[in-house]
Structure formats: structure tokens, C-alpha cells
Amino acid sequence: MGKKLFITRKLPNEIIEPLQAKYDVEMWDKEDVVIPRHVLLDKVKDAEGLMTMLSEKVDEELFQYAPELKIVANMAVGYDNIDIHAAERANVTITNTPDVLTESTADLTFSLLLATARRMIEAAEYVKNSQWKSWSPLLLAGHDVHRKTIGIVGMGSIGEVVAKRAKGFDMHILYYNRSRKKRVEEELHAQYVSFEELVSQSDFIVCLTPLTNETRNLFTKEVFQQMKSSAIFVNASRGPVVNEDDLYIALVEGEIAGAGLDVFAEEPISGDHPLLQLKQVVALPHIGSATTETRYKMMELCVQNIDRVFSGEAPLTPVK
């Protein structure tokens, strides 16, 4: 019997079959239902490898159930679902999927900005619902994007590509990051500013920071109050970076003009959540990296990492 690999979501045959030829593979066989915790804990008992989605909590308890575990390959660049310190204590290698999703996620982020600014979802619904009676001067008028100021919070690789997209729209680029990136400043004419300056000067505030203890609840009432009343807030990183009650109040009270959200504090967000009732909110189901090409690359990178760790080699993309 080969090494046991457990996969927490149904993956396509092209990915699974080569794995089955090498390992004893078991998989949660639902595509759109999260594996219940008790099933996961049972399945990891004799697993040496685990491939997870960001919906699975990988913590001390899980490691205690999985004494044979060598690797957790997380199919995401973010790994806030994993307790890295507990993994280190359990001597389990953690890998993620950076780089392969950068461009697709940046495309989605910029599309979300455009869709929110130009009220595209509202306009599409308007046509489909037979509300369109005539062309009229201010019908569904939104906000210009070109030559406006974009403020990127979290200038990682996705942030850099969003800045590149913004440059194509002749935008003035501000950024805030843990550290300055001189190369980005030179190449994209991006300007490093304090968080306070960024939120008060930007027309579009784009959040791309990972979820950490420092960034949890970063966008609160006080921060939204500093924004321009015409500002549009876009979040394509992680929901808990934002206080959603405060965001709702900021939108309802006109402290900001709109929000484009691909991520939420709780996912999936409930259909009756107050934020979803606002027409100035464009909401997407966490699809930043969701193109077929990119999702296959992410799965393949997970497989490569598992193969390497199972054969005693260093993984390609370990989380340090």
C-alpha cells in the first residue's frame, strides 16, 4: 500500500488519476460542500499528505489526529486557515500556491473595481429585468476610473500587477505596505504613503493584504470616515480585514460611494446579509483566482509539492 493522501474536495480526473497511480488517494467527493470537521479528523488519521482548500481549518487539533502527516498542500496563496506554528511543532511542511494565480487575481480585482465604479452589475440587471425604457443623460451614471487615484493596501505580487493594470488607465498610484518597494516606485511611478494618507487621498482603495493579527479588522468606522465620500472600497484579500458592520454604516450614511467585495468575514455570506441589499455593493463569491487555467495550475503546484515531499525533496513553494 502506497502513502496515503487525503484531498478535501472533489478534483478533476486529470489531476486525480496520476496521483492514484502512485499513492493511496482518498478524496471528499463533493465539489461545493465543505467537508465536515469530524469527517476530516477521521480521514487524516493515517494520512501522510493532505491537500486542503482555504475552507479547512488546519490547527493543533488536526495535527494531533494525524501523527503520520508530512505535508499539507493548501490550494491558495493565503494560508490564514493554517496554524503555522502548530505545523512547525508537529513537523509538518506547509505549502501554498503563490505566483501561478497572481495575474488572474489581479485581473479580477481590477474588474471588480471597474464593475463597481461603472455600476455594471446593476446595469446588466436593469436590461435583463426589462427596466430599460430609453437612453437618458444620467441613466446609471457611475464614476470615472481613468486618471483617478488608486490606493493599494498590501503591495505584494498581486498588488504590483493591479498597479500595472492601473497604470494602463493613467491612474495615480499610492500604496501602503509593510516595507517600501523602490523597484515598484520606479517602474510604476507608485508613491509610498502612510495608511492614513492613502485612505484619505484615494478615489479607489483596494485591499490586497494577507490576513494577519495586524490586518484583522483594519478597515473600521474611523477609517471609512477618513475616506472621500466619492471613494470606492474594493476588497479581494480576506473578509476579516474589514469590519463589515462599519462598512455597511459607511455605505448607508454616504461616507463612501460603493464597495466591490470578493471576500467576506463569513463565507459563503448569507443572501440576506445587509451588505447584499445595497445597490452600491458589488459582491462576488471569492473568485479572485477562478479561471480554469489558473485553478489547474494551482492544483498542479499542490501535486508537485506533495510529490517532492513524499520523495524526500524540498517542496517548490513552502510557507516559511
Q: Which of the residues 187, 266, 267, 293 is marked catalytic?
A: 267
- Provide the minimum distance between the beta carbon of 317 and ligand DGY in the complex, in angstroms, as a whole number: 12
User: Closest Cα partner for 150 from 106, 212, 105?
Assistant: 106
How far, in Å, CA of 5 to CA of 286, rounded?
Answer: 26
* Strand extents, DSSP E, 199-251: 204-207, 232-235
Q: What are phi and psi of 169, to 5 degrees?
A: -100, 15
- Provide the minimum distance between the beta carbon of 21 and ligand DGY in the complex, in angstroms, as a whole number: 27
Residue closer to ligand DGY (CB basis): 40 or 263: 263
- The β-bridge relationship of strands 49-52 and 4-7 is parallel
Residue closer to ligand DGY (CB basis): 142 or 288: 288
Identify whether 286 is a catalytic site residue: yes
3-state helix, strand, coil in the chain (%, to 5): 40, 15, 45
Identify whether 85 is a catalytic site residue: no
Q: Which of the residues 9, 119, 165, 286 is marked catalytic?
A: 286
Q: Which of the residues 119, 165, 238, 295 is marked catalytic?
A: 238
Residue 207 · residue 242 · CB < 8 Å:
yes
Q: Which chain residues interact with ligand DGY by CB under 6 A?
A: 54, 76-78, 101, 288-289
- Provide the minimum distance between the beta carbon of 9 and ligand DGY in the complex, in angstroms, as a whole number: 13
Residue closer to ligand DGY (CB basis): 191 or 304: 304
For the chain, the C-alpha Rg in angstroms (whole number) is: 21
Identify whether 146 is a catalytic site residue: no
Residue closer to ligand DGY (CB basis): 54 or 112: 54
Residue closer to ligand DGY (CB basis): 142 or 260: 260
Q: How far is CA 256 from the centre of its chain?
A: 22
- Provide the minimum distance between the beta carbon of 289 and ligand DGY in the complex, in angstroms, as a whole number: 4
Angle at 234 between CA 233 and CA 235, to 5 degrees: 125
User: Closest Cα partner for 53 from 315, 290, 316, 310?
Assistant: 290
- Provide the minimum distance between the beta carbon of 128 and ligand DGY in the complex, in angstroms, as a whole number: 29
State the catalytic residues.
Answer: 238, 267, 286
